[in-house]
C-alpha cells in the first residue's frame, strides 16, 4: 500500500494523496466552516468528511486550520498552494476532498491558479450552485468543475441551470436519505466510479457529462 504524507506550507496542510485518489495531491477545508449553511440537511447527516473528521482528530485539525488560514489570510492560503505546485511539478491537483467553494473570491483564486499552471489539471466537486449559476463564469479548460447532484430543495431548484450550462455532474446512489425515486433521475449513461482515480480518469474529463458514486 502506498504511503502518503501531509506537507505544510505557510501552515497550510496539503495531502500528497490517499487511498481513493492515489498519488494525486489535494487541499481540503473543514466542511463545517466552508460548506454552505443553506445546503440540504441530508448532506450534513451523510457527509463522509464529517464522519472521517470525528474518527481522526489530526485530519479534523488540519482541515479546520486550513479553513481558518483561508478566512483570516487568504493570500497566505493560496500562496501556499502556488508554492506547492511550483516545487512539485505534479500533473493533477484536487481541490476539496473535504469542504467546498465558500464564495466567489475563493473560486476566482482557483481559476487564477489554474491559469497560472496550465500543465496541471485541477478538479473539484461542488454543491455551491449559487456560484456555478453566476453569469459569465469563466472556467479554464484545465479546471474541471463537477457539480454534485444531491437530493433536496437546493438541487431541485438548480438542476435545470446546472444541466443547461453543461456542467459535468456527479450523481450519488444508494443514499438512504435520498428517499424513494432519487436514483431514477440518474442518467442511464452515467459512468460508475470504480473506487480509485489511479484506475479511471472519467471525473477529470470535461466531456464525461455524468458519473455516479455510491454513497460513502
Q: Is 138 a member of any domain? A: yes
Helix axes 74-88, 104-116, angle to 10 degrees: 20
How far is Cα 125 from Cα 216, in angstroms, rounded to an integer? 14
How far is Cα 58 from Cα 109, in angstroms, rounded to an integer? 27
Residue 50 pLDDT > 80, yes or no?
A: no
Give the total number of structural domains in the chain: 1
- Among 126, 135, 175, 184, CA closest to 155: 126
Q: Is 191 a member of any domain? A: yes
Percent of the chain with pLDDT over 70: 77
C-beta separation of 88 from 15 below 8 A: no
Q: Is 124 a member of any domain? A: yes
Q: Kind and range of the H or E element at 107?
A: helix 104-116
Residue 3 pLDDT > 70, yes or no?
A: no
pTM of the model: 0.86
Domain containing 205: what range?
A: 6-214
Q: Is 137 a member of any domain? A: yes
Q: Is 145 a member of any domain? A: yes
Task: Measure the N-to-C terminal CA separation of the chain; round to a whole number of Å.
Answer: 21
Q: Kind and range of the H or E element at 143?
A: strand 143-148
Q: What is the pLDDT of residue 57?
A: 61
Q: pLDDT for 154-170, tens place per residue? A: 778 888 899 889 999 98
Q: Is 1 a member of any domain? A: no
**HSE value, Cβ hemisphere, 13 Å, CA-based, for 208:** 18
Residue with cell 496539503: 14
**HSE value, Cβ hemisphere, 13 Å, CA-based, for 131:** 22
Q: Is 75 a member of any domain? A: yes
Amino acid at each position: 500500500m502506498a504511503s502518503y504524507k501531509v506537507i505544510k506550507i505557510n501552515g497550510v496542510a496539503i495531502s500528497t494523496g490517499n487511498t481513493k485518489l492515489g498519488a494525486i495531491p489535494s487541499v481540503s477545508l473543514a466542511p463545517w466552516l466552508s460548506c454552505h449553511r443553506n445546503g440540504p440537511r441530508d448532506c450534513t447527516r451523510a457527509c463522509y468528511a464529517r464522519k472521517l473528521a470525528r474518527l481522526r482528530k489530526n485530519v479534523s485539525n488540519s482541515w479546520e486550520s486550513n479553513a481558518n488560514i483561508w478566512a483570516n489570510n487568504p493570500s497566505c492560503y493560496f500562496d501556499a498552494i502556488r508554492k506547492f505546485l511550483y516545487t512539485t511539478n505534479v500533473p493533477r491537483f484536487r481541490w476539496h476532498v473535504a469542504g467546498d467553494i465558500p464564495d466567489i473570491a475563493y473560486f476566482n483564486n482557483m481559476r487564477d491558479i489554474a491559469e497560472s499552471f496550465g500543465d496541471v489539471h485541477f478538479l473539484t466537486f461542488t454543491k455551491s450552485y449559487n456560484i456555478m449559476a453566476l453569469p459569465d463564469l469563466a472556467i479554464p479548460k484545465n479546471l474541471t468543475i463537477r457539480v454534485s447532484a444531491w437530493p433536496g430543495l437546493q438541487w431541485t431548484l438548480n438542476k435545470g441551470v446546472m444541466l443547461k450550462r453543461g456542467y459535468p455532474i456527479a450523481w450519488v446512489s444508494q443514499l438512504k436519505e435520498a428517499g424513494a425515486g432519487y436514483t431514477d433521475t440518474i442518467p442511464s449513461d452515467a459512468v460508475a466510479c470504480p473506487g480509485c482515480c489511479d484506475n479511471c480518469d472519467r471525473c477529470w474529463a470535461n466531456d464525461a457529462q455524468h458519473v455516479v458514486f455510491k454513497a460513502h
